[in-house]
Chain A
Amino acid sequence: METKFTETYPNVSEEGRETDCEKVVNLLDLIIDGEASSDEQTFFKAHIEDCVTCFESHQKQRLMKSLVSGHLKRVLVPASLASSIKAKIQQTA
């Protein structure tokens, strides 16, 4: 499960398309989470310009993240919670 991408990345241009796709798959999370380095982003952007499969995988991954961040309902904090916390800490020495 652990990806070794960051260590092997510099050799990327020597390797074939299949390996590039695998690397992009391993990069998708970093990309959508804004955690990719600028080298990784450059590699990723260049690759998805030519590769429809990876382009679509990226779209799908991004969509899924947005489903959670944009559609998951937040639950309402019970009205009494803040005041009962305040009351408890005031009693604490």
Chain B
Amino acid sequence: MSEQTGKQLSKEEKDARFEAELLPVLDPLYNFAYRLTLDEDDANDLVQETYLKAYRFFDYFEQGTNAKAWLFRILKNSFINEFRKKSKQPAKVDYSEVEGYYNSDDVEGEGGVATTTDMRTESVQDLIGDEVASALNTLPVDFRTVIILCDLEGFTYEEMAKILDIPIGTVRSRLHRARNSLKEKLENYAKTMGYNS
């Protein structure tokens, strides 16, 4: 395994290369894990598991290629294969726990957005961000995933197809449906804020 194009890397060299190539992706990877699991501890576990798998298969990773897409793909597969089994309904169960974190009520909740947070301490930017997060978190995980990959992480359709193991046509149609769904939720929010959409 340690034979690589005739040159043997010591464990120290391999570790150094691994850290240099893959650890810079930690921030987006953790954010992706968090958006999938909606739980900080689960995101933590998922990211650690992803890096350990990546380390095991690091000999197959071609240096200089798209490390971010490679790690996102491993993480997404781990999430589907193992993590989803653990919690039967991650989105619904865990959403209640994030509510506090985002400091806002359910978009369609009784008080609506009128009760959201304190204008003195939180900027309008943050308010919008909270609403977008709430709306996004209520989407099915497949929809949430394509929106995160495309709009937050800036992956191309081709990269998304590789990460998700689906044809580009499916990426497009899923993204389209996901955005329609998100739009509906955000339009409700816009209406309660007095905007005509």
Q: Chain A: residues with CB nearer than 8 A to chain B?
A: 1-3, 26, 29-30, 33, 35, 60-61, 64-65, 67-69, 71-75, 77-78, 81-82, 84-86, 88-90, 92-93
Contact = CB atoms under 8 A, between A and B. Distances in A.
A19 B172 CA distance: 20
Interface residues of B, number: 46
B51 A68 contact: no
A69 B40 contact: no
Chain A binding surface SS class: helix
A67 B133 CA distance: 10
Contacts of A61: 179
Chain B binding surface SS class: helix
Contact of B132 (A72, A77, A81): A72
Contacts of B95: none
Contact of B44 (A65, A68, A81): A81
Contact of B173 (A2, A71, A74, A92): A2
B96 interface: no
A1 B177 contact: yes
B26 interface: yes
Interface string B153-197: 010110000000000010011011101001100100000000001
B176 A77 contact: no
Q: Which 4 A-B pairs have the closest CB atoms?
A: A68-B151, A71-B129, A1-B173, A77-B30
B126 A73 contact: yes
Interface in B1-20: 11, 15, 18-19
B34 to A, nearest CB: 5
Contacts of B40: 75, 78
